[in-house]
Chains A and B, each alone.
Chain A
């Protein structure tokens, strides 16, 4: 016979351990001016140094939720929506505008017109002051120059459904991130029927679905696939490393798709003052310059940074597409339904 002294002792110890550390101060606890909680969809490698710099400069502790690449942006958006009654997040820093506009339309973002936002063109700011854009990226078609020779250079999005590239093209899973943004813009430009036909053609052409834009770049750079859709910051990493890749703007007939980062204060957030200080910092010329000159080579939007060189000179000559982000945000659910209907969730 053995008495259960071991389990009972262990239980008491474990309970004390959990109680001592489990309920830490942070999100949801009484507001402290010394903390700000950020959800960010910008790649951790780019956003982390900037947030650390803010932390060091102000002494405000920054608690961050980065997204996993496979659930880019959307996972965080849905986490915000799910917690709308009792938000744990103060600052929403997105790497694209449509999901931000979607949050704004649902009343999850509060108005804050940062003094630092004056340097950003009005077209990149929410007319109602709920979010502000900065430091943009472009959607690009990346191709492997060892596989795609000059004569066969893809012209645009049609290359992904062309028979000669059957089974040789890749895109990120289109339910997430800038790929979803891209499809929402195409929905606006093409209408539902043409987009549906395009999605069916993608499936018929065995286009691979990667976990994100970074993996698309890696697959194309490694020669696993010949071409794919990605963002300029991802493409730049391969170009910088001297990989055999080149990029072009996949013109959908209306110009290049320019996607700014967006920042906003979350409605009802627990640390409002700290949130505003962080947003002022993120919208500063210093941060935009840092993002432009850094490894993500983002495109500065501030009127005071027109002289900052970018590696995208040629691409920027393509006229930027005139996108109504608020309208595109209203189409997200229709696009998701189309994706399911066409079997892109398999």
Chain B
């Protein structure tokens, strides 16, 4: 053993030699680095275009002074936060109950349960709002049942708390992800508490509730951010947030600059929330890349049953109830097939724009994530994290910026799907970038160098060391981005070309004009189309884990 320790490690020696020669050991060289930085800046151009455009207000009303020099903008912000902040609180509460229950089962079950909680993120906001109106509106199915049982329905959906609750049900999966991540990181602390014979109440207080405080704060900030940028659910429940006013400025008053003047400070609020999220959860985000191996907590059968019941109740509320009411409102399975047949043009268009958008976003994200990891390891600064702004700002702002950029383009491009595809790519680039960055920062930094030292040909090393371990991550990022794009509504409303409407827009249009049964049938059809993509995503994640385990 000692002889082995005394032998020089060839990879380390080569690393030292190359470092001494000034050769970059990670990343793809100077040109690649410059390209990645330029790409990060390029992704922010639509946002910049909208902000610059907001300075050129047309007419006497609608500019920064109109909104923010008077009470108008502040009232709009207050109304928006009156929905978003309680939505964040409700989401964190639900997520905490879910995660605290799920970890009593097993880490694998916990991950599965939290992934299920994320499913509402993968359907259009309008679909969820429709389902809850069908369930709990004055003539809703649950309302009718409550009237029979209790004489009246205590829930009034068309209020700010109602809008906040439905919004929370869409976004609580994000909170669950954050809380689960925090829990799994400190699972190893439990046996220590048992060994040290800490009383259960103290352990629960210090190791569960207090330890969850910071992750819960981060989760609340994050859900509040997403909720404030979703005008669809509150709008359908007659609660006006700033998104409605942006639409009035843009569509009714033909004043994109005025719309941007309202939206741009909201984007700053969003960015501030994101910054606060990063600060609040810094122990989570900046901790060592490998979490400690989760330790299964010994629990009795009763404890596990109780935990399973609590998790089931939360998931039933978030998933089963909306799905069940849609099924109940749909006339027959044939109606779903008919609804999809009627929407086949929009389905193909959605598939095309989401695929193209996801391919572009993933390609760019791969470049950005690779560069980000390299810069991180080298302790150097990079502009890549700035692309996260595109996820924190209102989608309408990006849509307005994209329209401004394409205003002078040839008509064949302006009136095609290109602005929509690029709009999607810009909007969801942060999702793919974050995912790839999170996965790739765990990779051993000198794997390719090791292959080189051991004489593996470059093409073979590129294939086996670079591509194979990363293919599942890339496929997962592409699928996730495509799912988000396929269920997007706001970007589509702004950028969809003539004859190029998407499924989300069709559903949103029909919600206001078609009978409930037709809307429910189309909603279920969209769900049916989403399921294979979600299963594929799960399969890719499983493949990634398997390959990761093999690599380790």
Chain A interfacial positions (CB closer than 8 Å to B): 1-8, 10-11, 13-15, 17-18, 21-24, 26-29, 37-39, 43-46, 48, 62-71, 74-75, 78, 81-82, 86, 88-89, 170, 173, 175-176, 180, 208-212, 214-215, 219, 221-224, 237, 241, 336-337, 340, 345-346
Residues of chain B with a CB closer than 8 A to A45's CB = 510, 513-514, 518
Knowing A1-B25, A89-B498 touch, does A43 contact B513 (C-beta < 8 A)?
Answer: yes
29 sampled A-B residue pairs with Cβ under 8 A: A1-B25, A1-B26, A1-B449, A3-B28, A5-B467, A6-B474, A8-B367, A10-B359, A10-B366, A11-B363, A11-B364, A14-B363, A17-B355, A18-B360, A22-B416, A23-B412, A38-B498, A48-B342, A64-B499, A68-B505, A70-B512, A78-B251, A88-B498, A170-B238, A175-B251, A180-B252, A208-B158, A237-B515, A345-B245
- Taking the closest CB of chain A, its distance from the CB of B379, in whole angstroms, is 16
B359 touches A4 (CB 8 A): no
Residues of chain A with a CB closer than 8 A to B317's CB = none
Chain B interfacial positions (CB closer than 8 Å to A): 24-28, 32, 61, 72, 75-76, 137-139, 158, 235-236, 238, 240, 244-245, 247-248, 250-254, 342, 352, 355-356, 359-360, 362-364, 366-367, 370-371, 410-418, 421, 443, 445-449, 462, 465-467, 470, 474, 493, 496-501, 505-506, 508-515, 518
- Taking the closest CB of chain A, its distance from the CB of B522, in whole angstroms, is 11
Knowing A22-B421, A27-B497, A86-B411 touch, does A81 contact B509 (C-beta < 8 A)?
Answer: no
Q: Taking each of B25, B238, B240, which has the highest tally of chain A beta carbons within 10 Å of its own beta carbon? A: B238
Knowing A10-B363, A11-B364, A222-B137 touch, does A18 contact B416 (C-beta < 8 A)?
Answer: no
B138 touches A222 (CB 8 A): yes
B356 touches A14 (CB 8 A): yes
Contact with A88, one of B248, B367, B411, B511 (Cβ below 8 angstroms): B411
Residues of chain B with a CB closer than 8 A to A7's CB = 363-364, 366-367, 370
Knowing A13-B359, A14-B356, A223-B139 touch, does A6 contact B248 (C-beta < 8 A)?
Answer: no
Excluding A7-B366, A173-B244, 7 further A-B contacts by CB distance (< 8 Å) are A3-B462, A10-B362, A26-B500, A27-B497, A70-B512, A223-B139, A345-B248
B137 touches A2 (CB 8 A): no
CA separation between A74 and B514, bound complex, in Å?
21
Question: Chain A: which residue is nearest B458 at the CB level?
Answer: A3
A21 touches B493 (CB 8 A): no
Question: Chain B: which residue is nearest A39 at the CB level?
Answer: B498
List 5 tightest A-B contacts by C-beta distance, closest first: A63-B499, A28-B411, A69-B512, A10-B363, A4-B28
Question: Chain B: which residue is nearest A71 at the CB level?
Answer: B251
B76 touches A211 (CB 8 A): no
Knowing A6-B474, A70-B235 touch, does A176 contact B251 (C-beta < 8 A)?
Answer: yes
A346 touches B245 (CB 8 A): yes
Task: Determine chain B's interface SS by DSSP, over half rule.
Answer: helix
Residues of chain A with a CB closer than 8 A to B462's CB = 3, 5
CA separation between A28 and B416, bound complex, in Å?
9
Residues of chain B with a CB closer than 8 A to A223's CB = 138-139
Residues of chain A with a CB closer than 8 A to B505's CB = 68
Q: Taking each of B244, B412, B443, B447, which has the highest tally of chain A beta carbons within 10 Å of its own beta carbon? A: B412
Q: Taking each of B250, B362, B445, which has the highest tally of chain A beta carbons within 10 Å of its own beta carbon? A: B362
B443 touches A2 (CB 8 A): yes
- Taking the closest CB of chain B, its distance from the CB of A208, in whole angstroms, is 5
A1 touches B448 (CB 8 A): yes
Contact with B499, one of A3, A26, A67, A78 (Cβ below 8 angstroms): A26
Residues of chain B with a CB closer than 8 A to A6's CB = 366, 370, 466-467, 470, 474
A82 touches B254 (CB 8 A): yes
- Taking the closest CB of chain A, its distance from the CB of B503, in whole angstroms, is 13
B137 touches A18 (CB 8 A): no
Residues of chain B with a CB closer than 8 A to A3's CB = 28, 448, 462, 466
CA separation between A37 and B411, bound complex, in Å?
14
B417 touches A27 (CB 8 A): no
B367 touches A64 (CB 8 A): no
A14 touches B448 (CB 8 A): no
CA separation between A206 and B453, bound complex, in Å?
76
Residues of chain A with a CB closer than 8 A to B474's CB = 6, 10
Residues of chain A with a CB closer than 8 A to B447's CB = 1-2
Contact with A37, one of B367, B498, B506, B513 (Cβ below 8 angstroms): B498
Question: Chain B: which residue is nearest A78 at the CB level?
Answer: B254
Knowing A2-B443, A4-B27, A223-B139 touch, does A44 contact B509 (C-beta < 8 A)?
Answer: yes
CA separation between A208 and B411, bound complex, in Å?
41
Residues of chain B with a CB closer than 8 A to A14's CB = 356, 359-360, 362-363
CA separation between A199 and B360, bound complex, in Å?
49
CA separation between A241 and B24, bound complex, in Å?
72
A346 touches B251 (CB 8 A): no
- Taking the closest CB of chain B, its distance from the CB of A331, in whole angstroms, is 15
Contact with A65, one of B411, B418, B498 (Cβ below 8 angstroms): B498
Residues of chain B with a CB closer than 8 A to A221's CB = 139
- Taking the closest CB of chain A, its distance from the CB of B447, in whole angstroms, is 7
Q: Taking each of A64, A222, A336, A345, which has the highest tally of chain B beta carbons within 10 Å of its own beta carbon? A: A345
B415 touches A28 (CB 8 A): yes
Question: Chain A: which residue is nearest B369 at the CB level?
Answer: A7
CA separation between A10 and B432, bound complex, in Å?
13
B497 touches A26 (CB 8 A): yes
B418 touches A23 (CB 8 A): yes
Residues of chain A with a CB closer than 8 A to B493's CB = 68, 71
- Taking the closest CB of chain B, its distance from the CB of A168, in whole angstroms, is 12
B499 touches A37 (CB 8 A): yes
A44 touches B498 (CB 8 A): no
A211 touches B248 (CB 8 A): no
B253 touches A68 (CB 8 A): no
B498 touches A64 (CB 8 A): yes
Q: Taking each of A1, A6, A7, which has the highest tally of chain B beta carbons within 10 Å of its own beta carbon? A: A1
CA separation between A46 and B26, bound complex, in Å?
60
- Taking the closest CB of chain B, its distance from the CB of A232, in whole angstroms, is 14
CA separation between A1 and B448, bound complex, in Å?
5
Residues of chain B with a CB closer than 8 A to A346's CB = 72, 75-76, 240, 245
- Taking the closest CB of chain B, its distance from the CB of A178, in whole angstroms, is 13
